[in-house]
Amino acid sequence: MFALSFVILGGFVLVITNQALRDQILAFSATDIAAIRDGYAHEGVFEAREVINQLMASPASSGFYLLQQDGKVLDGNLPVMTPRAGMLEMSASGHQVLGTGTFLAPGLYVFSGSDTTRLHAVQAHLLNIMLGLFAAALLLAVAGGALVSRGFLRRTDAMATACRDIMNGNLTLRIPVRGTGDELDRLAEAINDMLSRIAALMENLSQVSNDIAHDLRTPVTHLRHRLERAQADSKSVEDHRAALEAAIAKADEILGLFAALLRIAQIEGGARRAAFAVVDLGALLTQMRDLFEAVAEEAGHSLELTNADALTIRGDRQLLVQLFSNLIENAIVHTPQGTHIRLSLARDQTRAVVRVSDDGPGVPKDEHERLFRRLYRREASRSQPGYGLGLALAAAVAELHGADISIVGDAKPGLVVQISFPRPEKA
Amino acid sequence: MKILLIEDDSETAAHIVYALDGAGHDVTVCHDGLQGLETARAGGHAALIVDRMLPGLDGLSLVRRLRDEANNIPALFLTTMSGLDDRVEGLQAGGDDYLVKPFAFPELLARVHAITRRGNAPSAEPVRLCAADLEIDLIRRSVHRAGKTIDLQAQEFRLLEYLMRNMGRVVTRAMLLENVWDLHFDPRTNIVETHLSRLRGKVDRGFGSELIHTVRGSGYILRAE
């Protein structure tokens, strides 16, 4: 490719210079002829010969001249030729001559030309220069290419080595990035992002296994204690029945915990996104208010919904219901009587923002982050029913919807959980 | 009632047979999907309880085939999967209800009774439901008891309608949550109890007899006696 383009370029330059040089020769001879014609016009043949001799004698002259009358040479350094007007190219006395001829009068012919060997010499010189350039360029290209590809290979080798090391268990390792932003860097960055995501998922997974291993032992141990006590202490049928009922309730609690963990894992898997449909948050929150208003009142709380204008997002209705239920139930369960719970819906250009707030005692700021963790239970709420999965599930549902869930504001007054959903772009 | 149970896990099957037997039902058990399909085709059963995962032929395909053959035997799916879409898939395949293992006996019994009732339901949708002196008009969405008009909120009306459609049969908390509120998880607050108590306050309080009763450990029942 490189050579071909060089040949085409070289050929082009040669043709152009050849043409330019020939044009120049012809221009010279035209000037000479004009001078001779001028001499002849004023003073006749004698003056024309004078002009020719002067031209031939000029030190800069490399020209060939001929003045002939009726087939006989009058003057000049060329043999007799067949007179022809216009541009001529001929071989004479070992030279290649290019020039122009013209008739001064019938039978009186004049020719002026130059040796084109000089032209060829220029061209040959040019060709040499070009060949030299070509060789140099070729050398540079090959050497540069070798250098570049050596760098490229070294970097891909480094990437392959890093990949192998990661495969062998060094999961914190990342592909080196040079920071030049070239293709290899971009590839390395993409791979690194992928590795980070995988690492996060794996950490998540091991976290879940740990949760199950450690936290499930507690309720199962409690169940065992309860059965042991029943076996030892139960005296009557009534005692046995009560003990069995308590044991069944405990078993149900453990099963519920399993189900909740599984559901979170399933939501985090992301497969539910396929079931997304248009959901009206205003209507959904109205439904939540209707569902929980009476429950809140029974618990001595009040629940109000401010602004339930239609505002649609894309989402999974069932999961959103569970998300809001968890937040509202948290507010009902974890706050003292008389707490006021408020649901609100707001919007801006790109987001739909739902807030579940209460004016209860709230949660200290340094605990906010931990609240969304699986099986995290505050000291203060350990006596309450629940597994510490409500907010973890809420966070999983929010993430599935591309929403940000966070605790905003401080504990004065109460707790404010905000979920900010992206709004679908209007077509 | 003769019930066909198709379940490959023998311990689970024995457990279910024990529960249904105790409630006075006669259970045939198949441990394999194809054998189950043949038995169901032969007829003579009032309801079908079928596991989703079976050797030979899976539960979904089994029920789908029966429905293709215009066999409308009431079918209840059992599954160990807690998949969120599983329920929808089961209903789409032609199942009448869906129960996730493990479940409590009362839950299973209540659901089996509910689907067999559906199987015998008159083809035309009723306009009016009555229980003793209580009457609800499904078109006007109005409620009367002993000649008095009772004002119900939309949710209370749906709750009463569901109880009346299942008159004489126990409905569980989970059934109410699913069918009245479309909630498919176990809430931590007493949603069902609260709404039922409010409904009772309007429908039962101040009238001679109570129609809505609590069945301890199972759920609720609306009885007209």
pLDDT at position B63 over 90:
yes
Q: What is the residue-wise DSSP string for A201-227? A: HHHHHHHHHHHHHHHTHHHHHHHHHHH
Q: How many Å apart are CA B181 and CA A358, to the nearest integer?
A: 24
Written as six digits, the tokens of B156 are: 């209370």
- Nearest chain A residue (CA) to B178: A318
Contact (Cβ atoms closer than 8 angstroms) between residue B54 and residue B60:
no
In this complex, do B190 and A295 lie within 8 Å of one another by their Cβ atoms?
Answer: yes
> What's the rounded mean pLDDT across residues B30-34?
93
ipTM over 0.85 threshold:
no
pLDDT at position A386 over 70:
no
Contact (Cβ atoms closer than 8 angstroms) between residue A108 and residue A69:
yes
CA-based nearest distance B147→chain A, Å: 28
pLDDT single digits (tens) A292-338:
999 999 989 999 998 888 889 999 888 899 999 999 998 898 888 88
Q: How many Å apart are CA A301 and CA A291, to the nearest integer?
A: 14
A172 by DSSP, 3-state: which?
coil
Within 10 angstroms of residue A11's Cβ, the number of other Cβ atoms is 11
Give the pLDDT confidence score for residue B68 in this predicted structure.
Answer: 93
Closest CA to A215 of A47, A382, A415, A22: A382
Q: Is B201 on the interface with A (CB under 8 A)?
A: no
- Residue A274 or A140, more confident: A140
- Nearest chain A residue (CA) to B217: A245
Give the pLDDT confidence score for residue B120 in this predicted structure.
Answer: 53
pLDDT at position B123 over 70:
no
pTM confidence score: 0.65
pLDDT at position A24 over 90:
no
Amino acid B48 reads L
The DSSP H or E segment spanning A96 is: strand A95-105
Residues A63-100: b if buried by 16+ CB within 10 A, e if exposed: bbbbbbbeeeebbbebeebebeeeebebeeeebbbbbb
Quick one: what percent of chain A has pLDDT higher than 70? 93
Residues A288-312: b if buried by 16+ CB within 10 A, e if exposed: bbbbbbbbbebbebebebeebeebe
Contact (Cβ atoms closer than 8 angstroms) between residue B173 and residue B192:
yes
A415 by DSSP, 3-state: which?
coil
Closest to A318 (Cβ–Cβ): which among B84, B100, B190? B84
Q: Is A333 on the interface with B (CB under 8 A)?
A: yes
Written as six digits, the tokens of A134 are: 């070509």
pLDDT at position B50 over 90:
yes
Q: Is B216 on the interface with A (CB under 8 A)?
A: no
Q: Is A319 on the interface with B (CB under 8 A)?
A: yes
Give the pLDDT confidence score for residue B171 in this predicted structure.
Answer: 94
Cβ-Cβ contacts under 8 Å, B102 against chain A:
255
Q: Is A324 on the interface with B (CB under 8 A)?
A: no
Written as six digits, the tokens of A421 are: 């959903």
Quick one: what percent of chain B has pLDDT higher than 90? 55
Angle between helices A390-400 and A317-333 (to 10 degrees): 150
Written as six digits, the tokens of A202 are: 């794996």
| Optimal mutation site among B86, B99, B188, B193, interface A, most CBs of chain A within 10 A | B188
Closest CA to A316 of A356, A271, A372, A349: A271
Closest CA to B7 of B65, B52, B66: B52
pLDDT at position B124 over 70:
no
In this complex, do B185 and A275 lie within 8 Å of one another by their Cβ atoms?
Answer: no
| B162 φ/ψ angles, rounded to the nearest 5 degrees | -65, -40
In this complex, do B186 and A266 lie within 8 Å of one another by their Cβ atoms?
Answer: no
> What's the rounded mean pLDDT across residues B42-50?
93
Closest to A329 (Cβ–Cβ): which among B83, B100, B187? B187
User: In chain B, positions 145-184, which contact chain A (CB-CB < 8 Å)?
Assistant: 153-155, 181-184
CA B52 to chain centre: 18
Contact (Cβ atoms closer than 8 angstroms) between residue A360 and residue A300:
no
Q: Is A396 on the interface with B (CB under 8 A)?
A: no
The DSSP H or E segment spanning A24 is: helix A2-43
- Nearest chain A residue (CA) to B100: A259
- Residue B157 or A93, more confident: B157
CA-based nearest distance B194→chain A, Å: 6
In this complex, do B82 and A262 lie within 8 Å of one another by their Cβ atoms?
Answer: yes
pLDDT at position A62 over 70:
no
Written as six digits, the tokens of A43 are: 């003073």
| Optimal mutation site among B185, B195, B197, B202, interface A, most CBs of chain A within 10 A | B185
In this complex, do B185 and A322 lie within 8 Å of one another by their Cβ atoms?
Answer: yes
Amino acid A85 reads A
Give the pLDDT confidence score for residue B27 in this predicted structure.
Answer: 95
Q: How many Å apart are CA A372 and CA A375, to the nearest integer?
A: 9
In this complex, do B188 and A262 lie within 8 Å of one another by their Cβ atoms?
Answer: no
CA dihedral A160, A162, A164, A169 (to 10 degrees): -170
Give the pLDDT confidence score for residue B2 in this predicted structure.
Answer: 93
In this complex, do A255 and B195 lie within 8 Å of one another by their Cβ atoms?
Answer: no
Q: What is the mean pLDDT of chain A?
A: 83
Closest to B189 (Cβ–Cβ): which among A275, A322, A329? A329
pLDDT single digits (tens) A147-176:
888 888 888 888 888 888 888 888 788 888
Q: What is the mean pLDDT of chain B?
A: 89
Give the pLDDT confidence score for residue B84 in this predicted structure.
Answer: 66
Contact (Cβ atoms closer than 8 angstroms) between residue A118 and residue A41:
no
pLDDT at position A387 over 70:
no
Within 10 angstroms of residue A357's Cβ, the number of other Cβ atoms is 21
Closest to A295 (Cβ–Cβ): which among B102, B182, B194? B194
> What's the rounded mean pLDDT across residues A402-412?
79
Written as six digits, the tokens of A54 are: 């002067």
- Residue A4 or B71, more confident: B71
CA-based nearest distance A350→chain B, Å: 29
Within 10 angstroms of residue A346's Cβ, the number of other Cβ atoms is 15
